[in-house]
Structure 1
Amino acid sequence: MSGNTVRSVTACRVCGSERWQKVLSFGNVPLANAFLEAGDTEALAREQAYPLEVISCRECRLLSLTAVVDPQVLYRTYSYVTSDSETMARHMRTVVRLCGEQVELAEGDLVVELGSNTGEQLMAFREAGARVLGVDPARNLAEIAEQRGVPTVPEYFDSACAESIVAEHGRASVILGRHVFAHIDDVADVLAGVHALLAPDGLFTIEVPYAVDLLDGLAFDTVYHEHLSYFLISTLDTLFARHGLRTVDVERLPVHGGSVLVSAGPADGPHPTGERVRELMAHERAAGFLSDARYEDFAARVQKTCADLSHLVRDLAADGHRIAGYGASAKGTTLLNICGLGLGELEFCTDTTPQKQGRLTPGTHLPVLAPGDVGEQPDYYLLLAWNYAEEIMRKESAFLEAGGGFIVPVPEPSVRTRAVSRR
């Protein structure tokens, strides 16, 4: 592991404190989206794993990884593609509606998305009449977005990038970052860029995994190296205030195991802090999310769930049942590796993403198959894409009717079949 590839976190990226509580340690784990070419023995031999540990800042309660992997390693070629599921399409329309309500978007107003991937979200804004611009460092994905008619800057967003966008496109009414802000280490420079690009009456809107849902729902497998930070509203409010912004509104959303859509505007701007912001911050304090005990309890529950899931899968395999993974998700990389589940227990993993098909899962080296290439179905699928559980159950009703079952890993391992769900 090269010292140029990973650095250790010492000071909190939100408040600068060095007073940390240790929460979780999963040991060394491969990068969540570093899928391997099947048959590439050299790549298998040099596969890297990095520390995957979570700490909590005792001052502002940022949940942070202890190790920051070089973004050039993580993102320049990227295999995660925005889901085309109906669940996600519906969610993207909701984001457009909420942003439009908060800013009163007019025809031709500029919307800039950070981490815009293949442009799916911006296409929804364009349909609503906005001018759109994506910013994404993954050149393979930026190229796809351009082919779809979504102009995309193939770079990391920072203050210099923001200045160049202003010069060419003007200021933005909305700067959006859906599940990208938690990936950023130097949040100060990004927020400086936001100040440079945002219109005086505009809003910076981010969607991030909500630390309350992470802890309450035991979504520990959403911890991987791309997710450097896990936020409370209280933590984001501290961050925004330190950088001349004011928290304006928040919406809780079910995607990705529980997320929040949080908007902030210039501190001297026209948008006041809404009641939902104050309510959630009060709940975080009253429910103990600002104290050590809540995180100690979380760690104990994670340990038990990992042990229970490992036993459940191994017992089914020992009884002669065929098991495969469903959805070669990033969270699946964490789950399989920390629970020690691989080719001894699972035969393969199925996924609809072309960039992953024909490759091997990181660390566990399960072959990733397109759904049409599966052939004879296994007896059980371990549902690695559990955040789409209900949609998947409807889609795979024939599999369930034929006697198949899904192993749902969190918050407590359970088996779902047509007739019955059992823990």
Structure 2
Amino acid sequence: MQEIVRKADGCRVCGRDDWLDVVSFGETPLAGDFLDPDAPIGAERRVPLEVVVCRGCRLMSLRHVVDPEAMFGHYRYVSSESETIMSHMRRLVADADLAEGDLVVEFGSNTGVHLDLFRRAGMRVAGVDPARNLAEIANARGVETVPEPFTGRVGARLTERHGRARLVLGRQCFAHIDGVHEVLDGVTAVLDPGGVLTIEVPYLVELLANDEFDTIFHEHLSYFSLGTLRTLFGMHGLDLVDVRTAPVHGGSIVVSAAPRGAGRPERPAVARMLAREDALGLSGDGPYLEFARHTEAARAEIGDLIRSLAAEGRTVAGYGAPAKGATLLNACGLTREQVLFCTDTTQLKQGRLMPGSRVPIVSPEEGLARRPDYFLLLAWNYADEIIAREGAYLEAGGRFIVPVPRPRFVTAPSAVPAP
């Protein structure tokens, strides 16, 4: 495994090599290593999954870093077009306060589906994404995309080709990046002096408060607080100007920063969130150690529940095959013996096996036709949307199990209470 993984020798934000050990899941498969059905047992690449906190800047991160080419060279996560996400994106477009013809650059732009919303609103757009297969899809849809990691060199090249960007956007990808300073070099190379950087990341406070242990996997290298982002941005001459919470991916924050001296005032939401983080004690060890205790309890509770249902002869399937689902199944010791299959809308995943657990992945249509007694909602971040859509399954007697923060059953309003 030496060729694809290394142990971090210092914090990616501040460089300090002084860590608090939080939780270890042992050696686990890469969450995106979906297997061919005939893959031999043990074909998955296994890497230590250990969570630590920097005692300097308080970044929570993974102790081991996987070569991004091993994870993103041919990526199978396709940007969601669910109503939840598209509604969220439409708000981002409206809040951006851009004029027709302004340039929007997105790093981690995936298939370009979200940049396309800006393009339809009259802006010029350019994407950057190291996943070559996804960049190819984006270019085919007319969203010019550079199939490389975002760096100062790439930012300078975009500036030469398109001019300066009024908005640089990074949605749900910044936490995946080891070289965060290189990315911010790219930002400063292309961002207009009067422009704004907006990033969206899963929020550390929500992860800790809701015991979202399954959102920890090798792609998610960092788990950011606003305080740590302020430290990082400040190293690159960027000041926080706004922040808001967003009800996506288990609870995220949308953070905006502008070049120092641009004259953009800091909105009150920034100070409020920083004060809340201080009040929660994120500068100490307590919240992280409490999360570790809760994680161990949740792993046991979820695993015991699903195994007991299977032992009673109940059929259980997974709804969704997200990366977080791979963490949950493996962390809870679940296999295809207890979870018969997972459904997923992503065709790149269908016909393959979940890594580690080796649970087969089928289309939603096939999964619903097989009518399992329970769907374990692995894509729980879309719970409201999924439950509303699958009313017929519930009315026919099916039940959902929402695993996070603690397992709960969802039945049709007319159904008898779940056991």
Same fold (TM over 0.5): yes
> Quick check: 1:204–1:265 contact (8 Å CA) kept in 2?
yes
> Quick check: 1:351–1:368 contact (8 Å CA) kept in 2?
yes
Matched with 2:11 is: 12
> Quick check: 1:213–1:258 contact (8 Å CA) kept in 2?
yes
> Which residue, out of 293, 297, 306, partners 1:313?
306
Match of 2:362, as an amino acid? L
Structure 1: any 5+ residue segments left out of the alignment? none
Match of 2:35, as an amino acid? L
Matched with 1:243 is: 236
Query: Counterparts of 2:381 and 2:365 in 1: how far apart (Å)?
Result: 22
> Which residue, out of 52, 55, 63, partners 2:49?
52
Query: Counterparts of 1:55 and 1:273 in 2: how far apart (Å)?
Result: 31
Give 3-state SS (helix, strand or coil) of 2:257's partner. Answer: strand
1:399-414 alignment, distance < 5 Å: 399-414=393-408
Query: Counterparts of 1:334 and 1:420 in 2: how far apart (Å)?
Result: 32
Task: State the 1:187 CA deviation.
Answer: 1.2
Query: Counterparts of 1:137 and 1:407 in 2: how far apart (Å)?
Result: 35
Task: State the 1:4 CA deviation.
Answer: 2.6
Give 3-state SS (helix, strand or coil) of 2:96's partner. Answer: helix
Say yes or no: does 1:215 pair with 2:214: no
Task: State the 1:376 CA deviation.
Answer: 2.2
Task: State the 1:119 CA deviation.
Answer: 0.8
Query: Counterparts of 1:348 and 1:196 in 2: how far apart (Å)?
Result: 46
> Quick check: 1:343–1:364 contact (8 Å CA) kept in 2?
yes
Query: Counterparts of 1:173 and 1:29 in 2: how far apart (Å)?
Result: 41
Matched with 2:35 is: 36
Matched with 1:379 is: 373
Give 3-state SS (helix, strand or coil) of 2:317's partner. Answer: strand
Match of 2:92, as an amino acid? V
> Which residue, out of 355, 361, 386, partners 1:392?
386
> Quick check: 1:414–1:422 contact (8 Å CA) kept in 2?
no
Query: Counterparts of 1:267 and 1:183 in 2: how far apart (Å)?
Result: 26
Match of 1:79, as an amino acid? R
Give 3-state SS (helix, strand or coil) of 1:238's partner. Answer: helix
1:334-345 alignment, distance < 5 Å: 334-345=327-338
Residue by residue over 1:304-351, the C-alpha shift from the partner in whole angstroms, topping out at 9 and shown as x without a partner, is 111111111111111100111100011001000110111110111111
Query: Counterparts of 1:233 and 1:250 in 2: how far apart (Å)?
Result: 9
Give 3-state SS (helix, strand or coil) of 2:111's partner. Answer: coil
> Quick check: 2:30–2:44 contact (8 Å CA) kept in 1?
no
Match of 1:89, as an amino acid? M
Match of 2:403, as an amino acid? P
Say yes or no: does 1:291 pair with 2:290: no
> Quick check: 1:113–1:135 contact (8 Å CA) kept in 2?
yes
Which deviates the most, 110-119 or 139-148? Answer: 139-148
Query: Counterparts of 1:421 and 1:242 in 2: how far apart (Å)?
Result: 55
Task: State the 1:421 CA deviation.
Answer: 6.5
Give 3-state SS (helix, strand or coil) of 1:256's partner. Answer: coil
> Quick check: 1:414–1:421 contact (8 Å CA) kept in 2?
no
> Quick check: 1:342–1:365 contact (8 Å CA) kept in 2?
yes
> Quick check: 1:114–1:136 contact (8 Å CA) kept in 2?
yes
Task: State the 1:111 CA deviation.
Answer: 0.2
Task: State the 1:211 CA deviation.
Answer: 0.2
Matched with 1:259 is: 252
Query: Counterparts of 1:273 and 1:18 in 2: how far apart (Å)?
Result: 32
Give 3-state SS (helix, strand or coil) of 1:120's partner. Answer: coil
What is the total number of aligned residue pairs between the two structures? 416
TM-score with structure 2 setting the length: 0.97
Matched with 2:349 is: 356
Pair 241,420 (structure 1): closer, same or farther in 2 beyond 3 Å: farther
Give 3-state SS (helix, strand or coil) of 2:249's partner. Answer: helix
Pair 146,420 (structure 1): closer, same or farther in 2 beyond 3 Å: farther
Query: Counterparts of 2:217 and 2:110 in 1: how far apart (Å)?
Result: 19
Query: Counterparts of 2:185 and 2:318 in 1: how far apart (Å)?
Result: 42
> Quick check: 2:310–2:316 contact (8 Å CA) kept in 1?
yes
Q: Alignment RMSD, CA only? A: 1.2
Structure 2: any 5+ residue segments left out of the alignment? none
Task: State the 1:388 CA deviation.
Answer: 0.5
Give 3-state SS (helix, strand or coil) of 1:80's partner. Answer: coil
Match of 1:83, as an amino acid? S
Task: State the 1:192 CA deviation.
Answer: 1.3
Say yes or no: does 1:96 pair with 2:93: yes
Query: Counterparts of 2:387 and 2:375 in 1: how far apart (Å)?
Result: 11
TM-score with structure 1 setting the length: 0.96
Query: Counterparts of 2:18 and 2:139 in 1: how far apart (Å)?
Result: 44
Task: State the 1:129 CA deviation.
Answer: 1.2
1:123-272 alignment, distance < 5 Å: 123-272=116-265
Task: State the 1:140 CA deviation.
Answer: 0.9
Match of 1:133, as an amino acid? A
